[in-house]
């Protein structure tokens, strides 16, 4: 019985580690006060890029390991955007651009996030100007960054 219990604990520990998705270190640490974040980004000549992800998502992992690790992506995103990561099942409380307070998962539902990863680009007023769903290779994201900064 002890062996089975030890095996169950080891497996659950491994599963918990395997399900953890790490956000790239160059993403912004946000208090999730989006009216403030939009305004602050605009003052710096930038816009917000929201990255919706979930644990266990192979496309999210590929996005992190390839696209978000590409030097040109990092440079262009940091130059023109403030990148913020949100878990589609997350419990962190936030204030959306319209002033409503909710949890990450409620925002994902409100914004009709149906797949991960999803990238939303906001303009300087907090409106969504571009949405990308699924894995985006570096060359496609570079084109989207150029488009999103001018919309």
Interhelix angle 138-148/71-80, rounded to 10 degrees, is 10
86 Cβ contact list (under 8 Å, min separation 6)? 50, 51, 52, 53, 94, 104, 107, 108
Q: Where are the domains of the chain?
A: 25-148
Q: Say if residues 140 and 67 touch (Cβ distance below 8 Å).
A: no
- Overall average pLDDT of the 117-127 stretch: 97
Task: Kindly report the pTM of this predicted structure.
Answer: 0.86
Tell me: cis bond preceding 117? Omega within 30 of 0 counts: yes
Q: Which one is the CATH code of 25-148: 3.40.30.10, 3.60.15.10, 3.40.50.720, 1.10.10.60?
A: 3.40.30.10
- List pLDDT tens digits, range 5-22: 344 444 444 444 444 678
* 55 pLDDT above the threshold of 60: yes
∠ Cα 88 89 94 (to 5°): 75
- List pLDDT tens digits, range 80-89: 999 999 999 9
């Amino acid at each position: 019985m002890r062996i089975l219990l030890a095996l169950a604990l080891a497996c659950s520990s491994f599963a918990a580690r395997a399900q953890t998705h790490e956000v790239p270190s160059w993403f912004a640490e946000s208090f999730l006060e989006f009216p403030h974040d939009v305004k602050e980004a605009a003052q710096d000549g930038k816009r917000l890029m929201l990255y919706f992800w979930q644990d266990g998502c192979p496309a999210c992992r590929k996005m992190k390991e390839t696209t978000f690790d590409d030097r040109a992506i990092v440079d262009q995103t940091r130059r023109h955007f403030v990148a913020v990561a949100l878990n589609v099942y997350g419990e962190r409380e936030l204030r959306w651009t319209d002033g409503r307070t909710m949890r990450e998962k409620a925002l994902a539902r409100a914004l009709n996030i149906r797949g991960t990863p999803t990238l939303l680009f906001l303009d300087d007023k907090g409106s969504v100007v571009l949405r990308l769903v699924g894995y985006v290779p570096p060359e496609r994201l570079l084109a989207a960054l150029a488009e999103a900064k001018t919309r």
